[in-house]
Structure 1
Amino acid sequence: MNVVSDSLKSGSALADDYINHFARVQELYEADFREEAAWGSRLKWLDESEETRVGRKELVSCLRKYNKRHNDHQEVHKSLDLLEQTGTLAVVGGQQSGLFTGSLLVVYKALTIILAAKEAQEKLQRPVVPVFWIAGEDHDWDEVNHTYVMTPELEIAKIKMDAAPGPKGPVSNTPVTSEQWRKALDQLAVMLPDSANKPEIVELLHQSAKESDNLSDAFAKLLGRLFGEMGLILLDSADPGLRKLEISVFKRMIEHNDELGQTYQSAAARITGKGYQLQADVSAESANLFYIYQGNRLLLQKQNGNFTDRKGAVRFSKEELYHELESHPERFSNNVLTRPLMQESLLPVLCTVLGQGEISYWAITKDAFPVLGLQIPILLPRMSFTLVSGTLRKYMDHFGLSFQDVQHRYEEKRQNWLNAQADLHIETRFEETREAFAKLYGPLIHELGTIQPGLIPLGEKNMGKILEQVSYLERKTKQALEQQHEAALRRWEHIYVSLFPMGKPQERVYNIFYYINRYGFGWIGEILGSCTRYTAEHQIIEMQ
């Protein structure tokens, strides 16, 4: 396994500047993750603010029960023992609970959390544990119900689990039937090529499904299989046991709701004022909290001193909302702007591992933390990888393609190569023909107009039809050339579909088990061994 740094196109201008040009966005964030002083300052804050967080013993007790069910590994229990001790820090990151773990970026986020915790422990000489926050309270089923693999025919195959009829509640509360699991598992089994690793994969996925009532539980069991031996603690944000511990935090969010809303509005204005796009909705009326009513997760809004939803299905005064919180904490959950505050209130977060979209919307929350007596943690960009097989590397070398060529100039490079095979310079020759024809025919049309004006539009129409036929012949010539070099062009397609499926980075599309099927479970640990230090630079992993 060889690791090479290379750049990957960014999906967010704000996140790109945070990572590469921090001075441009310094006022939108607390600290630069590259500055040593930032880590020391954060450590000092955590030591001085122990009492602002939920009690460690109560928190760890809840996490022990959850991890015992889904992530029962000795190293995880060691991490929990450490977390219970005053002074232990945490590196935290999270994601929605996707089907069969979702796309590769989920795995890379977990890897980053583990690597960053290990590195921070060495640097600070303090225990640091890795924690993965499963966003099971999210209710957008369409975001988590699918994943992709590449078939031997180079097709990008989507595996999707259709939602059962019913309310749109948190994913962790949405039942998944054995029939739903069977259909999804059968799809994956058909699409994965046969390999020495496939039987173990199929058995693992069947077992996780059999022991899970919902997508989040299966997600946790799979993460536990992949990372439990590395000590990764799992936390489901929809865990009812956790909700009871969060009552005091939700109370403060309700009490200071107007102040929190004002900070979000001010931050949004600063961000857009600098020319960046907002990555999360910021509404003056939003309470930025969800309430679960009859199974549906409703976003609460403020209206005339009360808390209600958009359709008016529920309505509470502030006092009634407090009472409801005490009686039914499991009915409350965070939105994208209050979830960071909850994380900070539960865990001694040294740094939080974020994707680019998250880095962008966390800028909205910076001034909300002090309202609750908190401080925004260090924001650590998720590590990013592209896997390149030995076969793929041979193809790229044969065609003289770099990673940047595939990313930015693929169509141009492909067409240039194809034209060179015919030694005709097809595009150039046809363009020259069109220009020469127009140069000769255009003046003739206007001369004919001196005989009869009606001949000009007739001639222009005739000229357009002839040019269309020239373009038609060009297309047919290219098709014939492609047929002549079909085998080679298949290799070009293999390169692009492997590295940028659907025009997106590989890590945002393909599922981890497609690669485990090919390379086995061990390569995940090999990445940790090869990447000895954290880096925000994109890494090309050349597989053997």
Structure 2
Amino acid sequence: MHQHYIPFRDTGYFSSLICDYLDEKTELNPFYNRFPNLENFKAQIEEKQVSVRAQSRTVLVESLNRQYQNIEASKQTLQNIEWLKAENTFTITTGHQLNLFTGPLYFLYKIISTINLSKQLKAAYPKNNFVPVYWMATEDHDFEEINYFNFKGKKIQWNHQSKGAVGELQTDGLDGVFELFSKELGHSKNADYLKRLFEDAYLKHSNLTDATRFLANALFAAYGLVIIDANHADLKKQFIPFMEDELLNQTSYKSVSKTNEALSKDYGIQVNPREINLFYLKENLRERIVFEDNLYKVLNTEVSWDKTEIQKELLEHPERFSPNVIMRPLYQEVILPNLCYIGGGGELAYWFQLKDYYNKVKIPFPILLLRNSVLIQTEKQQEKLDKLNISKADIFLKPDAFINKKVRQISDIDIDFSPQKEHLKKQFEELYQLAEQTDKSFLGAVKAQEVKQLKGLDNLEKRLLKAQKQQLADQVSRMRDIQRALFPNGSLQERNTNFSEFYLEYGESLIPNLIKGLQPLKNEFLILNL
């Protein structure tokens, strides 16, 4: 196993917001609490320790024990759940949708980041315990985002009618998906394991929450991962004061809108808050709550309440109120003794919008850590890259820029007109001076001629490059093939490919090798040769 790192900024796949955060640009300081390094966790531990009530820990552990009643948990996971009662125990959390068969590879990287950071923190702060947590997004209702995964260029899709929270979806119709996937897998020891895993998860559990819990536990129980479904009344009771404040005072809307004004001066805004950032949740229903005509209404229904009635509904049925993207992170921080949230670039982008809101409601803001990002290369792929003399950095270039650069490098002819263009510009500088001194009305004509000649050089360069590509067609084809294999559909491998492709080749060594290879606090993109 060989590891090579490159800065996130150099990949071209990450926003300026994320790259500036990793560079610790001072302009971003108001939007987060502490930067993710080992030393900063000391203060984070101290801050969180005084804010978590013992009763909150008890409720959490009781809820987790109920959730784990029908699952074969490892001793390490059960120990981690028990430790959560103690005031010296904290969580490292990631959240993710209930993607079919884990969806893209980064599902694994998020969870492995929590596992490895928990280990690192235990080594640095041995008097404390650190528990890796996967927060299942059971209340999401975007079924189209999770109902498929990609396998060897094919989309394995679950067609199902969906309303309401996806966690409650019955697993009807997944037997057909299983048959299709089984044919694609073929026959081998590793293929048989993947078939059993899919079958045990989706055909032996009645809903998507239970299926996903089983699947994540099967993959990561050995590392003590704790999986939580927060869609439970006992947990939501603890969130009642914050949901009531949201309904009556719209604190999140006011705070986040103010933050957005400041953040938008330099960066794009990931999400815009609603005036009320809660959904109403019942069987086959998850719709926004709005305040209109002095009534609280559930969109697309006849349900409505006045102020007293909705307060009563909240107290009696907190489980019917579901936080959206603005409120969910706060819910997590209220019910978990959490130190750090690990997420992708898009997730961290909306977390940066929340800092002022947390200050207003007096909840410690967690350390934000960008999850590990990985490009897995097989031995054969590395051999092809070496043979074609393709560098680690070049493979990240966009397809046209990649091919143009490589053609210029391997061509016997130097097809780079940059020197000629510079020479031409200098000549025209003299012509501008001449026109200035004689008749300024000629400046426009000089400019037009400069543009025309530079455009002519551009066109000639492109035609020569095209001709050279045709002469080097075989090499160009091989270069395109290797880049497409590593960047399916022109995107990062981790955002497209399912883990099953690599499990077929590496089997039970895949996850241990990833655990060994990923360094959560490295803050660089990993190219991993397995």
Normalising by structure 1, we get a TM-score of 0.82
Cα shift at 1:333: 1.0
Give the one of 350, 353, 361 matched to 1:361: 350
Distance 2:75 2:287 in 1: 39
CA contact (8 A) 2:38 2:124 kept: no
Residue-by-residue CA offset, 1:361-418 (whole Å, 9 max, x unaligned):
0112112223333111111111111101111111111111123212115434435666
Given residue 70 of structure 2, which amino acid in structure 1 is its aligned partner?
A: R
CA contact (8 A) 2:151 2:501 kept: yes
The equivalent of 1:134 in structure 2 is: 136
The equivalent of 1:66 in structure 2 is: 67
The equivalent of 2:268 in structure 1 is: 277
Given residue 517 of structure 2, which amino acid in structure 1 is its aligned partner?
A: S
The equivalent of 2:251 in structure 1 is: 259
The equivalent of 1:455 in structure 2 is: none
Q: Which sits farther off after the overlay, 368-377 or 356-365?
A: 368-377
Residue-by-residue CA offset, 1:99-126 (whole Å, 9 max, x unaligned):
1011111100000000111111221221
User: Is 1:222 matched up with 2:212?
Assistant: no
Distance 2:98 2:356 in 1: 29
Give the one of 10, 15, 25 matched to 1:12: 15
CA contact (8 A) 1:247 1:329 kept: yes
CA contact (8 A) 2:236 2:319 kept: no
CA contact (8 A) 2:31 2:355 kept: yes
Cα shift at 1:220: 1.7
- In structure 2, the residue corresponding to 1:68 is in which secondary structure? coil
Give the one of 156, 170, 173 matched to 2:168: 173
Give the one of 276, 288, 300 matched to 1:299: 288
Residue-by-residue CA offset, 1:210-242 (whole Å, 9 max, x unaligned):
22223332222111111101000000233xxx3
Given residue 112 of structure 1, which amino acid in structure 2 is its aligned partner?
A: S
Q: Describe the shift of the 1:199–1:415 C-alpha distance in structure 2 as closer, same or farther (beyond 3 A).
A: same
Aligned pair count? 481
Distance 2:273 2:38 in 1: 30
Q: Which sits farther off after the overlay, 210-219 or 138-147?
A: 210-219
Cα shift at 1:493: 3.8
Correspondences of 1:460-475 after superposition (within 5 Å): none
User: Is 1:44 matched up with 2:46?
Assistant: yes
CA contact (8 A) 1:71 1:220 kept: no
Residue-by-residue CA offset, 1:453-498 (whole Å, 9 max, x unaligned):
xxxxxxxxxxxxxxxxx9xx9999789768x73xx55543442223
CA contact (8 A) 1:22 1:32 kept: no
CA contact (8 A) 1:71 1:234 kept: no
CA contact (8 A) 1:422 1:481 kept: no
CA contact (8 A) 1:105 1:384 kept: yes
Q: Describe the shift of the 1:282–1:110 C-alpha distance in structure 2 as closer, same or farther (beyond 3 A).
A: same
Correspondences of 1:130-169 after superposition (within 5 Å): 130-150=132-152, 156-164=153-161, 168-169=163-164
CA contact (8 A) 2:252 2:273 kept: no
Cα shift at 1:157: 1.4
Unaligned runs of 5+ in 2: 418-459
Distance 2:331 2:405 in 1: 54
The equivalent of 1:437 in structure 2 is: none
Q: Describe the shift of the 1:71–1:366 C-alpha distance in structure 2 as closer, same or farther (beyond 3 A).
A: farther
CA contact (8 A) 2:256 2:353 kept: yes
- In structure 2, the residue corresponding to 1:521 is in which secondary structure? helix
Distance 1:267 1:510 in 2: 36
Cα shift at 1:35: 6.8
Q: Describe the shift of the 1:479–1:301 C-alpha distance in structure 2 as closer, same or farther (beyond 3 A).
A: same
- In structure 2, the residue corresponding to 1:287 is in which secondary structure? coil
Residue-by-residue CA offset, 1:252-295 (whole Å, 9 max, x unaligned):
322254222211111111111x2211111223xx3101102562
| Aligned-residue CA RMSD (Å) | 2.8
Given residue 88 of structure 1, which amino acid in structure 2 is its aligned partner?
A: T
The equivalent of 2:114 in structure 1 is: 113
Correspondences of 1:471-482 after superposition (within 5 Å): none
Give the one of 499, 511, 514 matched to 1:524: 511
User: Is 1:246 matched up with 2:239?
Assistant: no
CA contact (8 A) 1:300 1:308 kept: yes
Q: Which sits farther off after the overlay, 364-373 or 7-16?
A: 7-16
The equivalent of 1:449 in structure 2 is: none
The equivalent of 2:384 in structure 1 is: 395
The equivalent of 2:337 in structure 1 is: 348
Unaligned runs of 5+ in 1: 151-155, 429-469
Distance 1:419 1:13 in 2: 29
Cα shift at 1:317: 2.3
Given residue 542 of structure 1, which amino acid in structure 2 is its aligned partner?
A: N
Normalising by structure 2, we get a TM-score of 0.84
CA contact (8 A) 1:94 1:135 kept: yes
Given residue 164 of structure 2, which amino acid in structure 1 is its aligned partner?
A: G
CA contact (8 A) 1:301 1:309 kept: yes
Distance 1:83 1:406 in 2: 44
Q: Describe the shift of the 1:424–1:275 C-alpha distance in structure 2 as closer, same or farther (beyond 3 A).
A: closer
Distance 2:97 2:315 in 1: 27
The equivalent of 1:446 in structure 2 is: none
CA contact (8 A) 1:76 1:233 kept: yes
Correspondences of 1:373-392 after superposition (within 5 Å): 373-392=362-381
- In structure 2, the residue corresponding to 1:50 is in which secondary structure? coil
Distance 1:290 1:110 in 2: 27
Q: Which sits farther off after the overlay, 498-507 or 132-141?
A: 498-507
Cα shift at 1:339: 0.7
CA contact (8 A) 1:6 1:539 kept: yes
Distance 1:89 1:372 in 2: 21
Given residue 227 of structure 2, which amino acid in structure 1 is its aligned partner?
A: L
The equivalent of 1:322 in structure 2 is: 311
Residue-by-residue CA offset, 1:84-142 (whole Å, 9 max, x unaligned):
22221111111001010111111000000001111112212211111110111100001
- In structure 2, the residue corresponding to 1:400 is in which secondary structure? coil
Cα shift at 1:313: 3.4
Given residue 130 of structure 1, which amino acid in structure 2 is its aligned partner?
A: P
Residue-by-residue CA offset, 1:328-352 (whole Å, 9 max, x unaligned):
3332211011111111111110111
User: Is 1:22 matched up with 2:25?
Assistant: yes
Instruction: Give aligned-pair identity as a percent.
Output: 25
